[in-house]
Every structure is written in C-alpha cells, then in structure tokens.
Structure 1
Amino acid sequence: MPRREPTIHRPELMVTCPECGSAPGAACYGTTGRRMKGVHPERAELYRDSKTT
C-alpha cells in the first residue's frame, strides 16, 4: 500500500511543532502519546508569522 500524506484540515499544522516535534501536517501529541485536540500556541504563531514574511 502506498504511503499517504496526512490530510491537513488546519493551516496551523503546516509547520513542524517546536514543542512536541510533530511533523508538518501531523497533529500534536501529548506526553502520553495521545493526540491533542488543538495545536500548541507556538506552532500556530509560527504559521501566522511565516505567512507574513
């Protein structure tokens, strides 16, 4: 089966998370390995900053 890239529903996920290391397009995961409902604020801020430069 071919490898499928993650489907990105939130534009904030287009950058690597500096806090938990989640890859672009992947959700953030907590310390227990469970998927978090939102993204880390720093990741969302990085995305917003990258769009303005």
Structure 2
Amino acid sequence: MPRRESTVYKPELMVACSRCGSVAGAWCYGKAGQRMKGVHEERAELYREQPTTTETS
C-alpha cells in the first residue's frame, strides 16, 4: 500500500514553531500541554516571512 503524506489544513504548520518547539507539520501546544486550535503568532510570522520560491524559465 502506498504511503500517503499527511494533509496540512493550515499553511502556517509548514514551518516549525520557535515558541513551543513544535516541528513542521505538528500543531502548537499551549501552556497546559493541550493542542491549540490555531498557531502561535510567532509561527504565523515565520510563515509570512518565508521567501516565495517561484522559478521562471
């Protein structure tokens, strides 16, 4: 059976979180160790600051 890549519903999850240490693809965790519904603002900023990699030929 072929292995399927996980689906990422929030594009901010494509970068690691510098605040809670979550790796790319994993959700952020809050103070009580509970999974957050969203992401930390620092992570969202890291995603927005990523350079766009569009190649023109």
Same fold (TM over 0.5): yes
When the two structures are aligned, how many residues end up with a matched partner? 51
Structure 2: 5+ residue runs without aligned partners?
none
Equivalent residue for 2:32?
32
Structure 1: 5+ residue runs without aligned partners?
none
Q: Which runs of 4+ in 1 moved over 3 A?
A: none
Distance between the aligned counterparts of 1:21 and 1:6, measured in 2?
Answer: 20
RMSD of equivalent CA atoms: 2.2
Distance between the aligned counterparts of 2:29 and 2:41, measured in 1?
Answer: 13
Equivalent position amino acid for 2:10 in 1? R
| TM-score of the two chains, using structure 2 as the length reference | 0.73
Query: Radius of gyration: which is bigger?
Result: 2
Higher helix proportion: 1
| TM-score of the two chains, using structure 1 as the length reference | 0.78
